[in-house]
């Protein structure tokens, strides 16, 4: 068994939607990011990479490489899942927390879980997505961006 933890944050910028957990969420802002800015998937990627000792998302998908400009984070996750499998592991479960003052996440969480479980190849019950606010404290509370935390458990195939 191996565990990993991940964290990511992106500031808001111009746009009319966010992508979280592979799901498009209507919003009056977008993320400032090199890829689609999906902070939830980025945190999961870092948890997976950490669990198998392969560094972090920036090492594998640097923001200086134009190959990844605007790329769907689902594609990045698929690549990382292949790396995890090459190391002889599979995902047992993921637990994650989105930290955002807005938009309200509850209408989208079930779709995020469904999308993530499908990409990862596990039952929906093996992927947990929670959301919380910071009661208007800090950068997320001031509506400057969104942060995500994730942990994973990997087991031998």
User: CATH code at 69?
Assistant: 3.30.1330.50
Question: In the chain, how many domains are there?
Answer: 1
Q: 140-154 pLDDT, tens per residue?
A: 999 999 999 999 999
Residues contributing to the annotated binding site = 8-10, 34-35, 42, 56-58, 61-65, 132-135, 142
Give 17: exposed, middle or buried? Use CB within 10 Å, 0-12, 13-18, 19+. Answer: middle
Q: Is this structure's pTM higher than 0.85?
A: yes
User: Which range of residues forms the domain containing residue 81?
Assistant: 2-156
Closest by CA position to 66, among listed 19, 34, 36: 34
The predicted model gives 49-75 an average pLDDT of 96
d(CA 127, CA 112): 9
Q: 77-131 pLDDT, tens per residue?
A: 999 999 999 999 999 999 999 999 999 999 999 999 999 999 999 999 999 999 9
SS3 of residue 116 by DSSP: helix
Q: What is the pLDDT of residue 104?
A: 96
Residues contributing to the annotated binding site for a divalent metal cation = 8, 10, 42
């Amino acid at each position: 068994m191996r565990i990993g933890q991940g964290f990511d944050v992106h500031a808001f910028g111009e746009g009319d939607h966010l992508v979280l957990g592979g799901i498009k969420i209507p919003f009056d802002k977008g993320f400032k990011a090199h890829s689609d800015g999906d902070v939830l998937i980025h945190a999961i990627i870092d948890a997976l990479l950490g669990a198998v000792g392969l560094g972090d998302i920036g090492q594998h998908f640097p923001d200086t490489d134009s190959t990844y400009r605007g790329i769907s984070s689902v594609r990045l996750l698929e690549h990382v899942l292949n790396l995890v499998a090459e190391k002889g592991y599979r995902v047992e479960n993921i637990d994650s927390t989105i930290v955002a003052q807005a938009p309200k996440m509850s209408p989208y969480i079930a779709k995020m879980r469904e999308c993530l479980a499908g990409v990862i190849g596990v039952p929906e019950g093996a992927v947990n997505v929670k959301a919380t606010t910071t009661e208007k404290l800090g950068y997320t509370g001031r509506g400057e961006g969104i942060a995500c935390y994730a942990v994973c458990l990997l087991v031998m195939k």
